A = this chain, B = another copy of it.
Amino acid sequence: MLRLPHPTGMYTRLLGLALGALTFHVGRLLAPFCASGNVMARLVMKFGGTSVADLDRIRNVARHVKREVDAGYDVAVIVSAMAGATNQLVEWSRQAAMLHDAREYDAVVATGEQVTAGLLAIVLEGMGVNARSWQGWQLPILTDNAHGSARILGVNGAELIKRFKEHGQVAVIAGFQGMHKETGRVTTLGRGGSDTSAVAIAAAIGAERCDIYTDVDGVYTTDPRVVPKAHRMDKIAYEEMLELASLGAKVMQVRSVELGMVHNVRIFVRSSFEKPEDIDPSKPPSGTLICDEGDIVEQQVVTGIAFSKDEAQISIRRVQDKPGVAAAIFGPLADSNINVDMIVQNVSGDGATTDLTFTVPSADYERARVTLEKAKGSIGYARLDGATDVAKVSVIGIGMRSHAGVAAKAFKALAEQNINILAITTSEIKFSVLIKATQTDLAVRTLHTLYGLDKA
């Protein structure tokens, strides 16, 4: 767990929480006690904006919820704002002032989820299902004060568990929002934050599973629009999903997967377009389970192929090969809030200078060049080269840890297709190659076939 390839500092912070009064562990501590009574299994269900876009869609969500209640689950539902609602609220905030106070922005945009939660509770009650809505501050869901992209610090699930036991009451919870633990102001978690709300609540109440209903029916080995032979995975390990999410697969917010991994929440990605009536309760549901690698019996060496075309490459020629030069380059970029991804430094030929290549998001390309040109004096280099017509293709699989030669196989296959590799980076469970953008689809298809991912 600590070998996460993208250290974010989140883990220490989350682990530190175990000492707090309001923590995700509330649910865990209560669970063994509950188990002695006639306690139902708990389930978290999360529905995004398109799934609650209007009253008809909200009724559809309610039928999904009732289906699980009828199957014997205690249910917490997490909802996003009705599709379009958040955009309207963001637009109004922008009209109010281009540079707006993030605390006020959060107070405004958090209302979208509040509306959906109330409406879904009303519909559920109309169907005879005992339900009530919860806003972030009511549970509370406590966060830090990074308004607009706050991190959840703790969720109090005690009241939800009490109501499950006493009234079998469904909790309808506004996603995407929380409350700053000190100021008591409303915070939002950033785009896709409802996924994180759902996983955090699942941890707090000790849910058996956290179902993420979305507009795709699971996680695929790669983008089916590029590789028609891509197939849906039944299971994927947290670490692999994290890589997929970080590398461009937009199924889930990265942070929600991190949180699931830390608290071992079984996350199930499934379709919100499936009709509740068409689901056979006697069969396992269709979707992809994101879980601990230990729960995956037949582990593949390679699980999926991700790609991103939003990459730009910068090469710094003949930079001084001496201590401190990396700091001189990457310090100014970090100060400009530019994320640097792949870094390749060749061993110098002359022992005095070297070439250094790295990638940045293509949106930051021009800004990165300007930053580096300004810092030319302190870095010391001969020339800056760059290109935006590049793409990153990544091969992911926990099995790589125990299998040698996985990457070598790829390099050979790509060479056979005349695909030139501009840069390579590797980590324990993935490797990425930088190639010409025009060759992306060919590379992805080649690798998908190479590692036996094409569906039969």
Residues of chain A at the chain B interface (Cβ within 8 Å): 55, 58, 89, 92-93, 95-97, 99-101, 103-105, 107-108, 110-111, 114-115, 117-123, 125-126, 132-133, 135, 137-138, 184-186
Min Cβ gap A178→B in Å is 14
- Select from chain B the residue with minimum beta-carbon distance to A92: B119
Q: Which of B95, B105, B111, B125 contacts A97 (CB 8 A)?
A: B125
Q: Which of B101, B114, B184 contacts A125 (CB 8 A)?
A: B101
CB-CB under 8 A for A93 and B107, given A99-B126, A126-B100, A184-B138: no
Interchain CB contact under 8 A, B101 and A107: no
Of A104, A108, A115, A185, chain B has the most CB atoms within 10 Å of the CB of A104
Interchain CB contact under 8 A, A55 and B92: yes
- Measured in the bound complex, the distance between the Cα atoms of B58 and A95 in whole Å is 11
CB-CB under 8 A for A104 and B121, given A58-B96, A95-B55, A96-B58: yes
- Select from chain B the residue with minimum beta-carbon distance to A116: B108
In the complex, chain B residues whose CB is within 8 Å of the CB of A105: 118, 122
User: Given A104-B125, A135-B186, 9 other A-B contacts at CB below 8 A?
Assistant: A93-B118, A96-B123, A101-B132, A108-B118, A111-B111, A111-B114, A111-B115, A137-B137, A138-B184
Of A96, A97, A103, A137, chain B has the most CB atoms within 10 Å of the CB of A96
Interchain CB contact under 8 A, B126 and A104: no
- Measured in the bound complex, the distance between the Cα atoms of B334 and A211 in whole Å is 50
- Measured in the bound complex, the distance between the Cα atoms of B126 and A95 in whole Å is 11
Interchain CB contact under 8 A, B125 and A100: yes
CB-CB under 8 A for A118 and B122, given A55-B95, A96-B55, A184-B138: no
- Measured in the bound complex, the distance between the Cα atoms of B121 and A107 in whole Å is 10
Interchain CB contact under 8 A, A107 and B118: yes
Min Cβ gap A149→B in Å is 17
In the complex, chain B residues whose CB is within 8 Å of the CB of A138: 184-185
In the complex, chain B residues whose CB is within 8 Å of the CB of A108: 114-115, 118-119, 122
| 3 nearest A-B pairs in the assembled complex, by CB-CB distance | A97-B126, A108-B118, A111-B111
Interchain CB contact under 8 A, A104 and B132: yes
- Measured in the bound complex, the distance between the Cα atoms of B89 and A101 in whole Å is 26
CB-CB under 8 A for A107 and B114, given A92-B55, A138-B184, A184-B138: yes
Interchain CB contact under 8 A, A132 and B103: yes
- Select from chain B the residue with minimum beta-carbon distance to A137: B137
Min Cβ gap A289→B in Å is 32
In the complex, chain B residues whose CB is within 8 Å of the CB of A133: 104, 107
- Select from chain B the residue with minimum beta-carbon distance to A100: B122
- Select from chain B the residue with minimum beta-carbon distance to A121: B104
Interchain CB contact under 8 A, A122 and B135: no
In the complex, chain B residues whose CB is within 8 Å of the CB of A185: 138
- Measured in the bound complex, the distance between the Cα atoms of B423 and A25 in whole Å is 71
Interchain CB contact under 8 A, B103 and A119: no
Min Cβ gap A106→B in Å is 8
- Measured in the bound complex, the distance between the Cα atoms of B95 and A120 in whole Å is 11
- Measured in the bound complex, the distance between the Cα atoms of B181 and A29 in whole Å is 30
- Measured in the bound complex, the distance between the Cα atoms of B115 and A285 in whole Å is 39
Q: Which of B93, B99, B121, B186 contacts A101 (CB 8 A)?
A: B121
Min Cβ gap A108→B in Å is 4
25 A–B contact pairs at CB < 8 A?
A55-B92, A55-B95, A55-B96, A58-B96, A89-B115, A92-B115, A93-B122, A96-B120, A97-B122, A97-B125, A97-B126, A100-B122, A101-B132, A104-B118, A104-B119, A104-B125, A104-B132, A104-B133, A105-B122, A107-B117, A107-B121, A107-B133, A111-B111, A111-B114, A137-B137
